Amino acid sequence: MIAAEDLVALVRNYNPTTNEKLIIAAYEYGREMHEGQKRKSGEPYFTHPVAVAAILTEQQLDDATIITALLHDTIEDTRSTYADVAEKFGTEVADLVDGVTKLTNLQLSSSETKQAENFRKLFMAMSKDLRVILVKLADRLHNMRTIRAMKPEKQGQKARETMDIYAPLAGRMGMQSMREELEDLAFRVLNPEGRSSIIRRFITLQKETGDVIHRITSDMRHELDRAGIEAQVFGRAKKPYSIWRKMQEKKIGFSRLSDIYGFRIICQSENDAYAILGVIHQRWRAVPGRFKDYISQPKSNGYRSIHTTVSGRDGKRVEVQIRTRQMHEVAETGVAAHWSYRDGERAENPFAVDPTRWVASLSEQFDAEEDHDEFLEAVKLEMYSDKVFCFTPKGDVVKLPKGATPLDYAYAIHTRIGSACVGAKVDGLRVPLWTRLKNGQSVEIITAEAQTPQATWLDIAATGKAKTAIRRALREANKERFIKLGHELARAAFETHGKKATDKALEKAATTLRVKNVDDLLARLGSAEVSSREVVEAVYPDLAIKEDSTVEAKRAVVGLAHGQGFDRAACCQPLPGERIVGLALPGRGVSVHTIDCEALASHEHETESWLDLHWADGTHPPVYTVTLEMTIGNDAGVLGRICTLIGEMKANISDMEFIDRKPDFFKIRVNADLRDAEHLHSVMSALDAESNVASVERRRDPALEHVLVPKV
């Protein structure tokens, strides 16, 4: 463990005016509070806060942040209180420690609805003081560095959470070094065989080709010296996870992956950066389509650099990044550049962009969004996406996520333009709305007053803003139909309990569920945003207790009449955990569908036949058949490994069919017996992680509506 004096020395290196006494006092107080506590590894617990503080000194952060790191677990894990910390170290530190404590208590990998609400709280904490998330990221980094002491299942949970949330968040805030290390540490846990395989291939490649990095670095330095440009050149092999991700995205093997080496040139000025680009392109052949100028068009997190890919020795492609020293500081530390010190004063970096603007705009954009799932989807779309830059006909720049379409562009300009969009021109040519936009393209939107958003647009749009606006417009357009359907569902639900869905009852339900009025309540019920069970229980809360005491609660599906059976519709194969609705049709009994089943569209006017159902609480047996379609490699032993993997996930294969055979792959259809939707997700995730599985998806076919899966 680093001693207090050594920690102070690390801070003094970049901040000679540091309050040494206060840091040492925090060190001693933290050690006293954590006395007797141990980590999973058996080490004294206080080694962890000290390590977190040391990580933050690498980013040259202020005293308050370093002290917060030393105390970040005291309020949560010891007898210390907010008042104690405020009295000893001031309200600034106490607020930061309290903020980190609240973030620690957020279960970001929990259920979707709770996860969305926790993301809201995460953004609120970031908006108040970004140093809270800096401490939390350093805390997660040290925990990932020492994760081997945890139980395997806990390692997997933390690694997945790191890969899904913390690493993208660090990247979105411009902290590239931390993002790369978090990704690689999580990759080591989630796919150790894949990571080891890439490392072994690197070792083999080095034996075959020698030290490529040293040779190319020397060549670049020689060319720059000849041109009289002063700059530093660094080369490295890309991280295992970065390489693995490219292999997955491009669906190619390691041997066919070209740009596995990266080189960085740090210069004095922007003029030098462009001059260096010319030197590099004169000496090596540029790869078309692989040039990006983030100096003239910076990323929203402040990142600036010139990227180019060239063919180096032996035709090997290498990526080159060119930037100034100040640009490099922002590229490596991102938001931390706001708080960094140099020679005892806050460092002024003209390229540092305050990410609170991003947090504020994101929170503002989705604060009005009532659907938690939609909010979470939009947040992830914003966090996990790279940017492309397009131009308006007037030459203004519009930033969009990678994979965005003209429809996203239209909504980025204004919601009114997006809703009235009927077509688009890209670089002067008419293109379909689903066209994926590329960097530097000029986009013109064609509108018509009579146009309204279409349901198919949800599949075209890639940005959270566009999807949210489209869904909101569709809800308004379909509100009358949803109100009518909701009224029928409410009537049937109340009558099941011997009650009536009177105006007074519905008004009480709307008030209890915090909905504006009865029409809004019925519209939400009709669009499956709330269940009729929630509406009934809002008026008669005692009915929830009575229902649990009945025999019906022990049945798989709740909401059927006494003695009434059901069949699972083959078109959607509903599972426990999914929202369901029943169709009581003459001669067919009750057919149970998922609420989003496309086959229901043909019955939308038969509201008298709809039954509001839900799955019984508790654990279900693995008897619900779901059809999976997979494309797998045509190699020896692959099919056996797939079957074994499904068995290891406690699922049973009841049928298998080969639907396409090619020399290099098979396409198969597998019927697996599962417990619920969560079980399905686990099985599909495990299959998707298998290297020989090119794709896996759940089969849903509206044409199978009239085929019923046997009763369970």
Longest CA pairwise span in the chain (Å): 91
Q: Which of 228, 386, 232 is nearest to 324 (CA)?
A: 232
The CA angle 329-331-334, to the nearest 5 degrees, is 85
Q: Helix (H, G, I), strand (E, B), or coil: what is residue 668?
A: strand
Q: Which residue has the tokens 């030459």?
A: 395
Is residue 673 within 8 A of residue 546, CB to CB? The reply is no
Query: What is the total residue count of the chain?
Result: 712
Amino acid identity of residue 451, one-letter, is: Q
Distance between CA 72 and CA 65 in Å, rounded? 10
The CA angle 274-279-281, to the nearest 5 degrees, is 95
Residues with Cβ within 8 Å of 451's Cβ and at least 6 positions away in sequence, in order, are 419, 420, 421, 422
Distance between CA 184 and CA 195 in Å, rounded? 9
Give the active site residue among 77, 184, 374, 552. Answer: 77
Compute the Cα dihedral for 178, 181, 187, 189 and give only its sign.
negative
343 carries an active-site annotation: no
Distance between CA 460 and CA 408 in Å, rounded? 9
Compute the Cα dihedral for 455, 457, 461, 463 and give only its sign.
negative
Distance between CA 559 and CA 550 in Å, rounded? 12
Give the active site residue among 5, 28, 62, 76. Answer: 76
Distance between CA 433 and CA 300 in Å, rounded? 25
Token readout for 478 is 């379909």
Compute the Cα dihedral for 211, 214, 219, 222 and give only its sign.
negative
Distance between CA 637 and CA 626 in Å, rounded? 24
Q: Helix (H, G, I), strand (E, B), or coil: what is residue 138?
A: helix
77 carries an active-site annotation: yes
DSSP annotation string for 617-661 = SSPPPS-EEEEEEEEEE--TTHHHHHHHHHHHTT-EEEEEEEEEE
Is residue 579 within 8 A of residue 709, CB to CB? The reply is no
Burial of 273 (0-12, 13-18, 19+ CB in 10 A): buried
Q: Which of 11, 91, 2 is nearest to 49 (CA)?
A: 2
Q: Which positions are annotated as active-site residues?
A: 76-77
